[in-house]
Structure 1
Amino acid sequence: MLDWLNNFDPSIQALIATLFTWGLTALGASLVFFFKNISKKVLNAMLGFAAGVMIAASFWSLLSPAIEMAEEAGIPSWIPAAIGFLAGGAFLYGVDKLLPHLHRNQPIEEAEGIKTSWQRSILLVLAITLHNIPEGLAVGVAFGAVAANLPSASLAGAVALAIGIGIQNFPEGAAVSIPLRREGFSRFKSFFYGQASGIVEPISGVLGAILVVAMRPILPYALSFAAGAMIYVVVEELIPESQLDSNTDISTIGIMLGFTVMMILDVALG
């Protein structure tokens, strides 16, 4: 597989990888054709697992390579990591305040972002779409880093990141489509909205790859930016949503498992 990917431009590699992650979002959303309901325990475990994957990916696949790249370039290693990480969080903070969206189990009156008359279903999908922006960006930047021929970036590592993001996209797709079905939407409409939440990943992935290839010096900053954006999503949305009910141990176990799976993928493949 790696030899096959090597034949493509980094932007095409990023597109292929993020189409894979989008595909797993759609696969997760397709569970709505088999189930109308999903237990809160299972949903919380899924969200926790997704959070664990994103936390591990933020360090092993993004921050750690960024620090190594800065050292190789003769820059104080903490500068790109700190600046990029905070910038990524600030970017997601701004998007969070502007993009209308609604978190799971909240009344429509508590929708965040710019006030709008959009339907509840659209706002729920946009909340998950917000998660997927930094995920796609992270995959794209990882493939762009490989093109820069830096020792700390490897194609296997970028592929491992894409696999990890794809794995956690599966429960996220289900976390959108099945609740929509429970609210009265048809199975097909619920599936459509669920898979649509992942369409932003190929877009942000290709943009991320093109950006870092065109401007190699920003690579450590771009990797750290993606890490900061992902951690913002985890702390702001995924962990709080997974801890809404009394069974918080289940979501915590999900986080631990997700972190472990992503760590193994990155260390074993990267």
Structure 2
Amino acid sequence: MLKEVVAYFEQLDPVMAAFLATLFTWGVTALGASLVFVFKNMNRAFFDGMLGFTGGVMVAASFWSLLAPGIEMSPGEGFEKVIPAVVGFALGALFLFGLDKILPHLHVNFRMSEKEGIKTPWHKSTLLTLAIALHNIPEGLAVGVLFGGVAAGFEGATIGGAVALAIGIGLQNFPEGFAVAMPLRRQGMKRWKCFNYGQLSAIVEPMAAVLGAWAVMTFKPILPYALSFAAGAMIFVVVEEVVPESQQERYTDIATMGFIGGFMIMMTLDVGLG
């Protein structure tokens, strides 16, 4: 089944392939948000485990899908070969650091008094959506950059790797949609409105993917930097947001095992398909 999916994407224009792949990740987010129609409450142990799973997927994807191929396709030897990865990684982390300080948002499981970014009168619903959207930007960008790298003919960039990354991101997007929708439901918001906020958090992924694919195809030398940029942004999100959110309650061991599981699944997908 997965081989057929890879074969299908090999026939597509890279920008269209990136767009469709991230429509899938968006759809999985919407599927997670749709659980608000089924459940009245969120099981905290399950949710923390899924947050850990999200972190594991993102860390594994950062290395196996982004950093390793970026280093492999960089010119030179020794320290010279790793320079694009170091520069791109640092820029990606700094980019998310800047957005984190500017964009108003509220992390899941945190109180309104702990919202971040510039001061704003926006409601909790908007702030929660923006928090998830913030770390969906590098995820969409990563998928687009990989598809663009294949089109540009870079060794180490494969359709299988790009599809594996999209699948992994889709899996960890499932709890994210739920994470936005359910807290809003507990506040008394109508189910359809909660669902809409939940799925809206991933709308940035197709846009970022198209931008990433186009940029790499237009400016081919930036690919090693772009891959590492996405990796740096994703690692920043894991350390600054995902891990702290999963450690707020007493289910830290469950969150840790979720992290390990997510890492193993993403590593298996990338090696198996890439």
TM-score normalised by structure 1 residue count: 0.97
User: What's the % identity of the aligned pairs?
Assistant: 62
Q: Which of 119, 123, 132 is residue 119 of structure 1 equivalent to?
A: 123
Q: What residue in structure 2 maps to residue 5 of structure 1?
A: 9
Q: Which of 129, 148, 151 is residue 147 of structure 1 equivalent to?
A: 151
Map of 1:28-39 to 2, 5 A cutoff? 28-39=32-43
Would you identify which runs of 4 or more consecutive aligned residues in structure 1 move more than 6 Å?
Answer: 72-75
Q: CA shift at 1:178, angstroms?
A: 1.3
User: Given residue 168 of structure 2, which amino acid in structure 1 is its aligned partner?
Assistant: G
Q: Which of 177, 181, 185 is residue 181 of structure 2 equivalent to?
A: 177
User: Given residue 136 of structure 1, which amino acid in structure 2 is its aligned partner?
Assistant: G
Work out the number of aligned pairs and report it.
Answer: 270
DSSP-derived class of the 2:39 partner: coil
Q: Which of 208, 212, 224 is residue 212 of structure 2 equivalent to?
A: 208
1:103-159: CA deviations, max 9, x gaps?
A: 123222321111111111110111111110110001110101111112211111110
DSSP-derived class of the 2:80 partner: coil
Whether 1:43 and 2:47 are equivalent positions in the alignment is yes
User: Given residue 197 of structure 2, which amino acid in structure 1 is its aligned partner?
Assistant: Y
Map of 1:56-67 to 2, 5 A cutoff? 56-67=60-71
1:157–1:73 Cα change, 3 Å: farther
> Which is further off, 225-234 or 103-112?
103-112
Q: CA shift at 1:73, angstroms?
A: 9.4
User: Given residue 166 of structure 1, which amino acid in structure 2 is its aligned partner?
Assistant: G
Equivalent-residue separation in structure 2 for 1:249 and 1:80 (angstroms): 36
Any stretches of 5+ residues in structure 1 without a counterpart?
Answer: none
Equivalent-residue separation in structure 2 for 1:127 and 1:204 (angstroms): 16
User: Given residue 26 of structure 2, which amino acid in structure 1 is its aligned partner?
Assistant: W
Q: What residue in structure 1 maps to residue 29 of structure 2?
A: 25
1:206-228: CA deviations, max 9, x gaps?
A: 00000011001000000000000
Q: Which of 96, 99, 110 is residue 95 of structure 1 equivalent to?
A: 99
TM-score normalised by structure 2 residue count: 0.96
User: Given residue 212 of structure 1, which amino acid in structure 2 is its aligned partner?
Assistant: V
Q: What residue in structure 2 maps to residue 195 of structure 1?
A: 199
Q: What residue in structure 2 maps to residue 104 of structure 1?
A: 108
Q: What residue in structure 2 maps to residue 70 of structure 1?
A: 74
Q: CA RMSD in A?
A: 1.4
DSSP-derived class of the 1:38 partner: coil
Q: Which of 166, 172, 178 is residue 170 of structure 2 equivalent to?
A: 166
DSSP-derived class of the 1:193 partner: helix
Equivalent-residue separation in structure 1 for 2:7 and 2:52 (angstroms): 34
Equivalent-residue separation in structure 2 for 1:142 and 1:187 (angstroms): 36
Q: CA shift at 1:56, angstroms?
A: 0.1
Q: Which of 256, 263, 271 is residue 259 of structure 1 equivalent to?
A: 263
DSSP-derived class of the 1:77 partner: helix
Equivalent-residue separation in structure 2 for 1:110 and 1:153 (angstroms): 40
1:198-246: CA deviations, max 9, x gaps?
A: 0000010100000011001000000000000000000000000000012
